Amino acid sequence: MLKPSLNDLLKSSFKSILKNKSRTILTSLGIIIGVTSVILLTSIGNGLKIYITQQFDSLGANSIFITPGKVFNDNGGFSQGGMMMTTSFTQKDVTNLNRKLKNSVIMPVNATFADIKSANAIKKQAEVDGTNEAYGKNNNIIPSTGNGRWFTEEENSKKTSVVVLGYKIAQTLFPKSSAVGKKIIIKGKNLKVIGVVDKKGASMGGPSVDDAVYAPFSVVSGLAGNDDVNTIMVKAPSKEAMDSTKKQITAIFLEKYDKDAFSVFDSSQLLSSINSIINILTIALTGIAAISLVVGGVGIMNIMLVSVTERTREIGLRKAIGAYPRAILIQFLIEAVILSCFGGFVGVILGSLGTLAISNFFPAKVTISSILVAFGVSSAVGIIFGVAPARKASKLSPIEALRYE
């Protein structure tokens, strides 16, 4: 009795699978969908982290933010309801910081939402950020040459009615010509566009630079009907001075506010918390997508069980002429693994192509680890769900199998 080689079993398995190409594709469909979903979701999660990191990098390494309310809990994550502003800062707080932080740049922000109209009656709602002359330079949103300029300290102090538009809102309001030099209307007030910020791209979860309008703090205070300071941004003199500057700021605000009434943090803290949330969401969504891999495995098992029934006489004949039960088991197991690996291979290709299409609009990125995990899981599914049909085939009695009709 000759023991078949692994090469012979592989050839026999491929021959059996290729006999019915349509069934092979349909059997692998669950695995294809599952692997494609896993690749796409992990790619989008990676893209989110890349995008957010790029946005924070554009702010510079030594940016500090002061916001009302407690943003972070004791574990470093976002506190429940922490981003809800329970109070606002005042101009006195800004003046106090300017007086005590001699080497830092202080940038207050008063934000309000309003309808923005152009002379040709085109209207768009946008966030209007009132700030000072230093904000544009320190946030890398100074209009490039030919697109106007940022407003000056003098324009802020004199309440000059000027604005700088984000790229997208400028295109919406003035689709056929440059917005620079044109007039817009905000809450019944005419303002002159003196600059347009270069295109920055999409945003995640909030208004982007492209959709924002920037004006002198004094002008927005008039539009909003108050001179509240929603957020204060501080540019520390250096990266090395970050910790000491944050301690100084905390000490200054504790003189007036309770410790839970404000938060002082830098971009790295915010980035770390956001990335933690993205990681959890990516794992959860990938887990949900992976359920389709299990469904695909069940599909493979069902088809293989049907295949065992269809090939009962073949199995009986092979065993009658001396085929080892182990060889029958291995062949059916190989067939199940080939089906799942085929599905995994097609899924990786489709997931990668889908990621490539998404990357035209969003920085999605396929990683080697996600491919290895998806392909590894699909192979494991083939082995796990192929065991039952393979065992059933190997245990068939040759006499009963040859009698099977």
Bridge-based pairing state of the strands 183-186 and 105-118: antiparallel
Structure tokens of 33?
């969908």
Whole-angstrom distance, CA of residue 84 vs CA of residue 250: 20
What pLDDT is attached to residue 204? 43
Which among 369, 295, 303, 292 is positioned nearest to 338, based on CA atoms?
303
Which among 215, 235, 122 is positioned nearest to 165, based on CA atoms?
215
Whole-angstrom distance, CA of residue 331 vs CA of residue 335: 6
Residues 6+ apart with CB under 8 A from 267: 56, 59, 61, 63, 65
What pLDDT is attached to residue 205? 42
Which among 10, 3, 16 is positioned nearest to 315, based on CA atoms?
16
Query: Which segments in the chain show pLDDT lower than 50?
Result: 1-2, 82-84, 203-206
What pLDDT is attached to residue 234? 92
What pLDDT is attached to residue 206? 46
Residue 180 C-alpha from the chain's centroid: 34
Entry pTM: 0.63
Site of tokens 């009656």: 121
Q: What distances in angstroms separate CA 246 from CA 183, 224, 266, one per listed residue? A: 40, 30, 8
Whole-angstrom distance, CA of residue 248 vs CA of residue 242: 10
Whole-angstrom distance, CA of residue 233 vs CA of residue 34: 45
Helices (H), 72-143: 91-100, 135-138
CA angle 163, 168, 172 (to 5 degrees): 85
User: Contact 124/173 with Cβ under 8 angstroms?
Assistant: yes
Whole-angstrom distance, CA of residue 326 vs CA of residue 5: 12
- Its sign, for the CA torsion 137, 142, 145, 151, is negative
**3-class secondary structure, 134:** coil
Whole-angstrom distance, CA of residue 221 vs CA of residue 233: 18
- Binning the chain into helix, strand and coil, the percentages to the nearest 5 are 55, 15, 30
What pLDDT is attached to residue 50? 76
What is the per-residue pLDDT across 51-85, written as a single tens digit (0 to 9) for each?
A: 777 666 655 567 888 988 877 665 555 555 544 45
Residues 6+ apart with CB under 8 A from 179: 165, 170, 173, 193, 196
Using N-to-C axis directions, what is the helix angle for 267-310 and 21-57, rounded to 10°? 180
What is the per-residue pLDDT across 13-28, written as a single tens digit (0 to 9) for each?
A: 677 777 777 777 877 8
Query: What DSSP designation does 193 have?
Result: E
**3-class secondary structure, 182:** coil
